[in-house]
Amino acid sequence: MDDQTRMLTGLTGLGGLPQPDVGDPDSVRKQQSLGQPQQDIGDILQQIMAITDESLDEAQARKHALNCHRMKPALFSVLCEIKEKTVLSIRGVQEEDPPDPQIMRLDNMLLAEGVSGPEKGGGSAAAAAAAAAAGGSPTDSSIEHSDYRAKLAQIRQIYHSELEKYEQACSEFTNHVMNLLREQSRTRPISPKEIERMVAIIHRKFSSIQMQLKQSTCEAVMILRSRFLDARRKRRNFNKQATEVLNEYFYSHLSNPYPSEEAKEELAKKCGITVSQVSNWFGNKRIRYKKNIGKFQEEANLYAVKTAVDAANVSAQASQANSPATPNSGGYPAPCYTPDGRL
């Protein structure tokens, strides 16, 4: 009995293996035509392939039997040799690809919107600023603001929980595949590098799923944002007190109705609006005043009186007289009024 025949009998004697059909005349013919060695190897390979069709316990037992088989090292070395030849053609085909620019774009956006960054970072601050600039009374904007924040937080939460799920699934799957490959490396030649490559492939697959998640999150944020920006166009008039403060400043600085940055901040604080709203207001006011001074005459006189009265009060309170708020020299034409407040 030669080695291969012994091996065959050894394998068939392992139990549970399909016995070569000795009684079958076809089988006998095959044995004769193939020649003993090829036929034996063919059987072994067939048995290896058959493992996949079996239950786990059976397969484990079979695997163990095969691993213990004394021909296994020989088969293994043959597989190694084949592998060595084929690997040369595979090598270098799939090398490190550069970071996907689209992923980077999505990442940057998610970071900017405060979805992927630290909990209460720049993104929400920016949103807050935008919300504040949205106009309307301070209460309205804060309602819109909190609404926006709440929705953003919701998106953020979903994004993170999904991301976590994906990451967990990815690492679980990676572990599983690595274990499988390590296990298989006992029967077929698998280099650590190949395992690495396989892991990279898995990661690529999962990162493409992640990209989809990022994309849909971005879309959600964009929709939220556009809704929010639409809401911004829903103009709300400033309250009476705010308009009064702004008008007072405007008419008392008619010669130069350009508040400094500090003055704008002060006015914004007084009126409960943002600095950019103050800028808008002054921009509109200047142009509209200039366009139709006549129309604003009454208003101008009213505030001139107010300013004069205030100035008078101040001077009355102070022991020494102060000069009026702002002399009107140049700049925008002043309304006509007498120093005592009469028109």
Partner DNA sequence: ATCTATGATTCACC
Partner DNA sequence: GGTGAATCATAGAT
- Residues in contact with DNA by the rule CB under 7 A: 133-136, 229, 232-238, 243, 258, 261, 277, 279-284, 286-288, 290, 295
C-alpha distances out from residue 187 to 66, 76, 91, 125, 196, Å? 8, 6, 22, 58, 19
From the CB of residue 158, how many other CB atoms can be counted at a distance below 10 Å? 15
Q: How far is the CB of 327 from DNA (least distance, A)?
A: 19
Q: Which is nearer to DNA, 238 or 251 (CB)?
A: 238
From the CB of residue 208, how many other CB atoms can be counted at a distance below 10 Å? 11
The token pair at 15 is 């139990």
Q: How far is the CB of 329 from DNA (least distance, A)?
A: 17
Q: Which is nearer to DNA, 159 or 250 (CB)?
A: 250
Q: Which is nearer to DNA, 159 or 296 (CB)?
A: 296
Q: Which is nearer to DNA, 43 or 144 (CB)?
A: 144
Q: Which is nearer to DNA, 227 or 288 (CB)?
A: 288
The token pair at 184 is 């298989």
Q: What are phi and psi of 318, to 5 degrees?
A: -75, 150
Determine the residue type at 240. Answer: K
**What's the angle, vertex CA 168, arms to CA 165 and CA 172, rounded to 5?**
140
Q: How far is the CB of 224 from DNA (least distance, A)?
A: 16
Q: How far is the CB of 134 from DNA (least distance, A)?
A: 7
What's the rounded Cα separation, in Å, for the pair 48 and 35?
21
What's the rounded Cα separation, in Å, for the pair 21 and 132?
85
Q: Which is nearer to DNA, 217 or 274 (CB)?
A: 274
What's the rounded Cα separation, in Å, for the pair 174 and 203?
8
What's the rounded Cα separation, in Å, for the pair 259 and 269?
14
Q: How far is the CB of 324 from DNA (least distance, A)?
A: 23
Q: How far is the CB of 273 from DNA (least distance, A)?
A: 7
